[in-house]
Amino acid sequence: MPDFVSVPVPVGRVQEVYELLARQPTRPAAHQAVTDDGYSEGWNQALLDRMFIESSGAMRRILQAIAQRSSTWVTTNEIAEASGLTARQVVASFGPFEKRVRGRYGMSRWPFDTREFVDAGVFKYRMSAETGSRILALMAEVERHEKTPAS
């Protein structure tokens, strides 16, 4: 059962709060449960592999940047620096990724955690160690395949 908090709301705005709470969340949950196999709840190796394979080169580099520091929070700027993209490109890549995760894979959550650090005004991302290991292994396979000369 989720934890609850009491928030004072002006009487004239209570209906707005109810409407907001009735909507589906627009962002993935900040903290996701990790299953026994180490993946975010609902995700498994086959689905993770498919998600990675169907990702653009930019999204693969973003996933790799998060995976390289799995189990620690990384900012959009840190992801951008590690992936050779701009922060704007990183953020822009998350829109289509979100749509694909929901539409193509039927998942309501990303395969990694995301959290807004309001005081710092930044979003941070974190991947489980198992998911990070799998992403790095898949990226290594892609790089090995790309270096292999065609016969």
Total-model pTM: 0.73
* The architecture CATH gives domain 31-147: Orthogonal Bundle (1.10)
Strands laid side by side in the 74-75 sheet: 74-75, 122-126, 113-117
- Burial letters 19-43, b for 16+ CB under 10 A, else e: eeeeeeeeebeeebebeeeebbeeb
pLDDT tens digits, one per residue of 25-69 = 544 444 556 666 667 788 999 999 999 999 999 999 999 999 999
Percent of the chain beyond pLDDT 70?
81
| Single-letter amino acid, residue 52 | F
Return the pLDDT at 30.
47
- For the chain, the domains span 31-147
Q: Is the pLDDT confidence value at 1 over 60?
A: no
The C-alpha atoms of residue 132 and residue 141 are separated, in whole angstroms, by 14
Q: Is the pLDDT confidence value at 128 over 70?
A: yes
